[in-house]
Amino acid sequence: MTSPSTTKCMVSAVSVILGLLAAGSASATPVTFAQVTEHVANGPGNVNIDWSVSGGVGSLTTHTTSDAVDFIYKSYDGMLPAALLGTQSANLTISAKTTANATSFSGFDFQPFNQTITLAFTRATPLVVLGTPLSNLLTVTVTPKSANRPSFVGNDGSTTTHSMALVSDTAHETITYTSDFINFSHTIERDLALSFSAVNPGLSIASNDFFAGFQADFTGTFDSDPAPSTIEVPEPGSLLILAAGIGGIAVLVRRRSQPV
């Protein structure tokens, strides 16, 4: 029998999913500031993530040490250096484990996570600023609150379900965003929606009460309210002008200091 607290968590998860889906067709205050999609060079159907269970612990990892994805900052034209506009070739790493059992409720299968989920999107080629290589496009940590847990959610049925979602917001979990290029210190609400397609084999709950092992593709969107601000990153051309200016001042100072 499903406990009242578990039922509450599942109802909350369904509510979050329906709310985010509704937000896609209606005006919402949170702003989508970043999106991640399949790396175009890999072609459709490329495996991004693996789910496995061992010793009573479920683990979500990237299929390889780091998986290639395409990352894009949304609505930052003219606010970020040109090198950061448009699609960024990035590497994804995931760290997510859970000891919570999967459950079924109202036609949905749930795999809760009771430990912190971390996703890191690293620029494939660091952007060097003042001699410092910067590469953290976005790092996300999702920490469950006592009464709520982020969950994989998909429809019941191992032969028909080949997609699922994991959604999270600050009303239900603690979400932290960090980046070398944008600033979240003033944001008061953060949420994300991760979509997993081409789940192979189809979604099912195994006899150990966890989701059965699978591989899948991955995409995601990341929101905040208000939108994150940009961190001042000078253009390479500006750095050259600055360096030339400093050099000119140094020459002038040297000449003035020489005895007549």
Residues 113, 150: contact at Cβ < 8 Å?
A: yes
pTM over 0.95: no
pLDDT of residue 24: 40
Over residues 67-125, the pLDDT tens digits come to: 889 999 998 877 888 899 999 999 999 999 999 999 998 889 999 999 999 999 999 99
Hey, where are the domains in the chain?
4-257
Element (H, E) at 241: helix 236-257
CA Rg, the chain, in Å? 22
* pLDDT tens digits for range 124-154: 999 998 889 999 999 999 999 877 789 999 9
Structure tokens at 73: 């900052």
pLDDT tens-place string over residues 40-60: 776 655 678 999 999 999 999
DSSP class of residue 66 equals S
Residues in the chain: 260
Nearest to 94 by CA among 151, 136, 141, 53: 141
Give yes or no for a contact between 205 and 158, defined as CB atoms under 8 angstroms apart: no
pLDDT(62) > 60: yes
Cα–Cα distance for residue pair 68/48, rounded to 1 Å? 8
